[in-house]
Chain A
Amino acid sequence: MAEQKIDLRNLKAGGFIKERGKDLFTVRLRVPGGRMSVDRLSKIAEVAQKYGKGYVHLSVRQSIELININFADFDAVVAELGEEQQKVASCGARVRVPTACGGCEYNPNGLVDTQKSALEVDQKLFGTATGHHKFKVCFAGCPFDCPKSAINDVGFQGAVWPKLDADGCISCGLCAKSCTEGALSMGADNKPVFDAARCIYCGDCIKVCPTGAWSAERKGYTVRIGGKWGRRPLVGTLYATFVPEERVVEFIATVLAWYQEKAEGAGRVRLGDVIIREGWQSLLERLRGYFPEYVVKETIAPQVIQSQLPLPGQHV
């Protein structure tokens, strides 16, 4: 056996991606939720300058990718990034680094702490081998859904259910005016009338209410499952509402266990395709066993996006 020039353990979780040309790799960095300290950013810039091509790439999933890294420099790159606790990400059939929006601390639309969720999932589930294919998770703080929950294997989107304290209401009408969905109108008694069927749980009424008469009765994540993009896109569908932030890891782990079990022997197949094959009822019932108060009554299969004329074997 040839003498080992680099520590192969660094390669185990992936994150080193072969480029065109001899000896060159892209090094994908682990940036859960797309947030990093400026100190870490400076360190990455320093490493990229020293070992790379003179530029980096910001990946679609919020990672920084170092370009044109010679494989002989892997150990040095890992060690120097480690000075600022910067780790390398993954590729392949694993739980990927979660993405998230900016977060509720400074974004006025944020309803839940997506940054905290992304960090927790990254710590507890990142790199878990699925046995089948990649597994992507994202966290959106509000119904604008910038991280696109429906095109992740499991996508979370923050939501609040509003509750009115009629005695605290001063009949200003701001909530009805702010409600883009038409779920609120001013009634004959000059108090807002709530049409729950039209509410998308954005919380605009709570945010605009001058007196705090509107408050959050329930808060948590809407969960969509089975989405993916790529060659054969699928749009994920609704499985649960108002899942509490502290149960997110357990929720993902439950979906992951179902996926690992049901895709056994199926090869390289994404969660959405397994749901189509097994039927959504199977996954929904599994989740109901653990999360009865949050799982929806029924759902639909992931929705096929036609990216061209029907492909052979693609049933629509």
Chain B
Amino acid sequence: MQSIDLRGVTCPTNFVMAKLELEDVEVGTTVEFFLDDGEPVKNVPRSLKDEGHKLLGLQEREGYYVLTLEKGGE
């Protein structure tokens, strides 16, 4: 699975980066994003859901979060 590390990137740059990365991914593919605690983990999942992607889960790792999603259709 492709992992995209967005740690250390602030809002809304992290969301825009996630969006750009997803442009190169096939619809239906599962991708994971590493997000910082705080604003990023609160905002980025919601914004990606709004873009039509399917959120699959969120897991806490040491000091950060892993968001798993399936790329949605256009």
Could you list which residues of chain A lie within 8 angstroms of chain B, going by C-beta atoms? 108, 170-174, 177-178, 180, 204, 207-208, 210
- 25 CB contacts below 8 A, A to B, read A108-B47, A108-B50, A170-B57, A171-B57, A172-B55, A172-B57, A172-B58, A173-B57, A173-B58, A173-B59, A174-B55, A177-B58, A178-B45, A178-B46, A180-B42, A204-B42, A207-B46, A207-B49, A208-B42, A208-B45, A208-B46, A210-B45, A210-B49, A210-B54, A210-B56
Q: Does B41 have its Cβ within 8 Å of any Cβ on chain A?
A: yes
Least CB distance, A43 to chain B, in whole angstroms: 35
> For B45, what are the chain A residues with a Cβ–Cβ distance below 8 Å?
174, 178, 208, 210
**Are B65 and A177 touching (Cβ within 8 A)?**
yes
The answer on a CB contact under 8 Å between B58 and A174 is yes
How many residues of chain B have a CB within 8 Å of chain A? 14
**Given the complex, which residues of B lie within 8 Å of A172, measured CB to CB?**
55-58
CA distance A207 to B46 in the complex (A): 6
Give A174 to B56 CA distance when docked, in angstroms: 10
The chain B residues found within 8 Å of chain A, CB to CB, are: 41-42, 45-47, 49-50, 54-59, 65
Q: Which residues of A contact B57 (CB under 8 A)?
A: 170-173
Instruction: Report how far A174 CA is from B60 CA in the complex, Å.
Output: 11
B55, A177: Cβ atoms under 8 Å? no
Which B residues are in CB contact (< 8 Å) with A208?
42, 45-46, 49, 55
Which residue from A108, A180, A210 sits with its C-beta under 8 Å from B55?
A210
B49 contacts which chain A residues (CB < 8 A)? 207-208, 210
Of A171, A177, A204, most B-chain CB atoms within 10 Å: A177
Chain A residues, CB < 8 A from B65: 177
Q: Which residues of B contact A108 (CB under 8 A)?
A: 46-47, 50
Q: Which residue of A lies closest to B53 (CB)?
A: A210
Beta-carbon nearest neighbor of B54 in chain A: A210
Tell me the complex Cα distance, A280–B69, Å.
51
Q: How far is the CB of A212 from chain B (nearest CB, A)?
A: 10
In the docked arrangement, what's the CA distance between A174 and B47, Å?
Answer: 13
Q: List 6 tightest A-B contacts by C-beta distance, closest first.
A: A210-B55, A172-B57, A208-B46, A174-B58, A178-B42, A172-B58
CA distance A171 to B55 in the complex (A): 12
Whether B42 lies near A177 (C-beta < 8 A) is yes
CA distance A173 to B61 in the complex (A): 13
A60–B28 Cα distance when bound, in Å, is: 48
A191 to chain B, nearest CB (A): 14
A180 to B58, CA, bound (A): 17
Closest to B47 in A: A108
Q: Given the complex of chains A and B, what is the CA–CA distance between A171 and B59 in angstroms?
A: 10
Which residue of B is nearest A211, CB measured?
Answer: B55
Write the chain B residue with the least CB distance to A179: B42
Q: How far is the CB of A171 from chain B (nearest CB, A)?
A: 8
A210 partner residues in chain B, CB cutoff 8 A: 45, 49, 54-56
Closest to B59 in A: A173
Question: In the assembly, what is the distance between CA of A108 and CA of B48, in Å?
Answer: 12
